[in-house]
Amino acid sequence: MNELIIYEFKPLFLTLDRIGPFRNFHTIDFTDKDNRPCNFYMMVSANGLGKTTALEIFCCLADLLGKTEISSYGHEDLDRKGGRAQLDFRVRLRWQGRERTEVLSVVAGMVGEEVFLKSWPDSELSKFEAENWHRSGFRSSVSGRYQPVSSLQDELLQDVYAAIRAGSGEAVNEHFLQPSFHLPTVLYFSAYRDIPPISNDHPGLGQTAFSSIRSISQPQHWNYAPLHAFEAHNTLWENSLDNLVVWMKWLDNGSFETAQKLINEQLFDGTPKMLKSVRKVPPEALIDAGDGETHRLDRLSSGEKSLAHLFLRIGAHATANTIILIDEMDTHLHILWAHRLYNALEDLAMEHPGFTIIMTTHSSELLRRFAAGMDIAREGLYLGGELIEMNELTGDAGV
C-alpha cells in the first residue's frame, strides 16, 4: 500500500430516494454558499419528516467504508423496501508523494444500471477543487444479494479502504485528535442518552462481590471503526460508561486524562462538580460534587447525563477526522444547558479542523441562534442547515 495520510474527510451531499418520508429524490447539501464543506450543520423539521431517518442512512453508508462484502445494510428501507441512497465526501489527502483532493461516493440500495444517484463530471469536481471521482458501495437485487460497485482499478480507493481495514484493530484514544491517527470515523448519538444504574448494584452485595462482577475489561466500541453508533445505554457493566472510564484509567496511557479534561471543561466548567477519578472497589467513575461528597455517573441530572454521554464518548473515540451526528441535541436539556452544549460543539468545530458536527433540534431558540450566526463570519466555523418541509401538493418531503 502506498503512503497515505488523510487531512480532511468531509461530507458534501446525502441523496435519498424511496426511504422513509423521502419518496422522491431528496438531496441534503452539507456545503455553504462558497462550496465549502460545513463543519457545523443543523437539520430542522416537524416530527416524522425524516431527520432521524437521514442520520440513520448516513450511518449505514459510513459503515460501508472499507468493506469488501456485507450481509445487510442495517436499515429496513435499504434492505427490503427498495430504497437507495448515496453519500458524497470531499477527501483531501497525501498519496503517492503528493497532496490531492478527491470526491468519494458511497452508494447503497436497489440501484439500477445508472448505479449512482448523483454523478460527478469534471464541472462538478472543479467546484470543490477535486481531481477525480471515486465510486464505492453496494447494490442490492430482488434476490437479496449485495454486489460491490467499487472498481478494482481504482488504486487510491483501494489504498484508502485498506488503511481503514488495517486501522480497525487499533485503540483510537492513544492517538486522540492527533494527526497521526488520520482515519475517518462517524460518531452517532441517538436522542436517548441516559446513563442508567448498573444492574448488579444491589445494596446487599458485598465489596468483594462487586469487584468480581465488575472485572476490568475492554469496553464496547473501544477500537477504531469508521462508524460508532451509540444507542441508549443498557444496565450491563461491560456496556456502561463507567466501564469505559475505568478502562481508560487502568490503561494509564493518558486517555483518561484526555477524556477527564474534555468533560470537566465542556460539562462542569462554572459548576462545583468535576470528574475526579475512579473508585477501585467497586470500580466506577467518581464525580466530585464540590460539597465534600462524591457520587456515581448515574446520579447526575438527566441533562448532565446527556452531556456526559456525549463528551466521554467523543473523548474516547474521536480521530483527527471525525463526523459527529447528534439527534435532538436539546433532549432533556434546560435551555441554558442547551446553549452550553451549543457553545461546546462550536468550540470543538473551530478548534479541530477535521471535525464536522451535524445535529437536529426542535428548539426554536437554538434555531434562531443558529440562523443569526449564519450572517456572522467566524474563523474556522462554516455553518449550513436543512429545513425539511412537507410539500402540500404531493405529500413528499422537500426543502
pLDDT 10s digits, 34-46: 999 999 999 987 7
pLDDT 10s digits, 255-279: 888 888 888 988 888 889 999 999 9
pLDDT 10s digits, 133-189: 999 999 997 777 899 998 778 999 999 999 999 888 666 555 444 556 899 999 999
Residue ranges and CATH numbers for the domains of the chain are 4-183+319-398 (3.40.50), 207-221+236-306 (no CATH)
- DSSP readout, 139-151? EE-TT--EEE---
Residue 345 has pLDDT above 50, yes or no: yes
pLDDT 10s digits, 196-254: 888 764 444 444 444 456 888 888 888 889 999 987 777 788 888 899 999 989 988 88
Residue 392 has pLDDT above 50, yes or no: no
Q: What is the reported pLDDT for 398?
A: 39
What is the distance between the alpha carbons of residues 362 and 310, in angstroms, rounded to a whole number?
19
Give the chain's length: 399
Give, in order, the Cα–Cα distances in Å from 5 to each of 43, 90, 119, 352: 31, 14, 26, 17
Lowest mean pLDDT: which of 57-61, 124-128, 216-220, 356-360? 216-220
Q: For the whole model, what pTM was predicted?
A: 0.91
| Of 111, 186, 102, 101, residue with least CA distance to 148 | 111
Mean of all residue pLDDT scores within the chain = 86
